[in-house]
């Protein structure tokens, strides 16, 4: 899961005093530490595109190591076991949005950096899963990203509830605990996967790497986003070289994938599932046609502008 998914909500009419912003930064600092320090077990509901799923989670911090098991309770018993943010085994496919990539560790929040691109404020209090919470708003300062409303547990700063709305106020995603126990750490048996959870080996988690003959860059990047990872691999099925670039602003994340195409019938796409968008377009280069695909939890207009800005380092031309 996304380090207890930090899902999002755009609220209208934030009128936060500077003191509230300082308080919000303090809460986000606590949140950034909570999952590395606090053991817990609970049940939460996840909603996306009008569909609901229920999940159990066991999260134990011991001797500096974070172990976590997530079990989907609806339909087939799909699960994932992770250690320090990296997937060790998986059964089935968890509901989209709840699974990080296999080798993506949890991210640390930097409230001071976030404050450059989001307005941070404590805007109220609530009660979730029988626990008192403080409501922290994270409102984007531009149209290139989504905003957050987080209901953080007053005792531990763990997120008890979060909602995501688009710029029109439509609900995209909901995460909410219905039960949370922070007083007792999960036992060893709670963290053990079932026999259906298939181990992820190093060979499985890492695709074959190769050298890319082309350097890629973006002519336009939303303010605050930085390149955090780039890889080049061989697709085990098509044998084609696939380049990928990952960008983050400290909260939001998107990836750009570049893959050669030979089929002239391949069409450009523009899709959205909940908060996750995928935009692809053809890019003609001196080495042939490429398909550029942008995937992330960003507004679709942002993804389209990013896709249009991708260039090869030299001699790249786009289709008119």
Sorted by where each starts, the structural domains of the chain and their CATH numbers stand as 18-203 (2.50.20.10), 207-312 (3.30.200.100)
At 7 the pLDDT is: 34
At 205 the pLDDT is: 45
Cα angle: 207, vertex 212, 215; to 5 degrees: 125
At 211 the pLDDT is: 52
Largest CA distance in the chain: 61
At 132 the pLDDT is: 98
Q: Which residues, 6+ apart, have CB-to-CB distance to 264 below 8 Å?
A: none
300 φψ region: left (φ > 0), alpha (ψ -120 to 50), beta (else): alpha
Report yes or no: 45 and 54 within 8 Å, Cβ to Cβ: yes
At 16 the pLDDT is: 37
At 238 the pLDDT is: 67
At 169 the pLDDT is: 65
At 175 the pLDDT is: 94
Closest CA to 98 of 155, 156, 44, 17: 44
At 165 the pLDDT is: 74
How buried is 13 (Cβ within 10 angstroms: 0-12 exposed, 13-18 middle, 19+ buried)? exposed
Report yes or no: 138 and 251 within 8 Å, Cβ to Cβ: yes
At 100 the pLDDT is: 46
Report yes or no: 195 and 81 within 8 Å, Cβ to Cβ: no
Residues in the chain, total: 320
Query: pLDDT below 50 — which residues of the chain?
Result: 1-19, 100-105, 203-208, 210, 315-320
């Amino acid at each position: 899961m996304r380090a207890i998914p930090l899902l999002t909500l755009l609220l209208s009419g934030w009128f936060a005093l500077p003191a509230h912003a300082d308080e919000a930064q303090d809460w986000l600092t606590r949140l950034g530490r909570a999952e590395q320090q606090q053991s817990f077990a609970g049940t939460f509901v996840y909603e996306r595109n009008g569909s609901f799923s229920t999940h159990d989670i066991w999260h134990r911090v011991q001797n500096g190591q974070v172990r976590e098991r997530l079990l989907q309770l609806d339909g087939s018993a799909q699960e994932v076991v992770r250690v320090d943010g990296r997937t060790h085994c998986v059964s089935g496919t968890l509901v989209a949005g709840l699974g990080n990539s296999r080798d993506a560790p949890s991210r640390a929040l930097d409230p001071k950096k976030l404050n450059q691109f989001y307005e941070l404020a404590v805007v109220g209090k609530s009660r979730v899963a029988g626990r008192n919470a403080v409501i922290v708003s994270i409102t984007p300062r531009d149209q290139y990203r989504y905003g957050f409303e987080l209901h953080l547990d007053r005792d531990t700063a763990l997120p008890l509830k979060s909602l995501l709305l688009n710029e029109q106020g439509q609900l995209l995603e909901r995460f909410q605990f219905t039960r949370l126990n922070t007083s007792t750490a999960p036992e060893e048996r709670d963290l053990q996967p079932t026999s259906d959870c298939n181990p992820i080996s190093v060979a499985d988690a890492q695709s074959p790497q190769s050298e890319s003959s082309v350097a890629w860059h973006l002519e336009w990047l939303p303010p605050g986003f930085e390149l955090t990872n780039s890889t080049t691999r061989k697709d085990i099925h098509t044998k084609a070289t696939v380049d990928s670039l990952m960008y983050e602003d400290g909260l939001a994340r998107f990836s750009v994938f570049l893959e050669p195409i030979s089929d002239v019938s391949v069409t450009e796409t523009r899709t959205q599932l909940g908060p996750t968008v995928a935009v692809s377009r053809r890019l003609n280069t001196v080495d042939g046609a490429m398909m550029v695909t942008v995937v992330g939890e960003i507004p679709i207009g942002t993804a389209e502008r990013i896709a249009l800005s991708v260039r090869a380092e030299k001699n790249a031309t786009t289709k008119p």
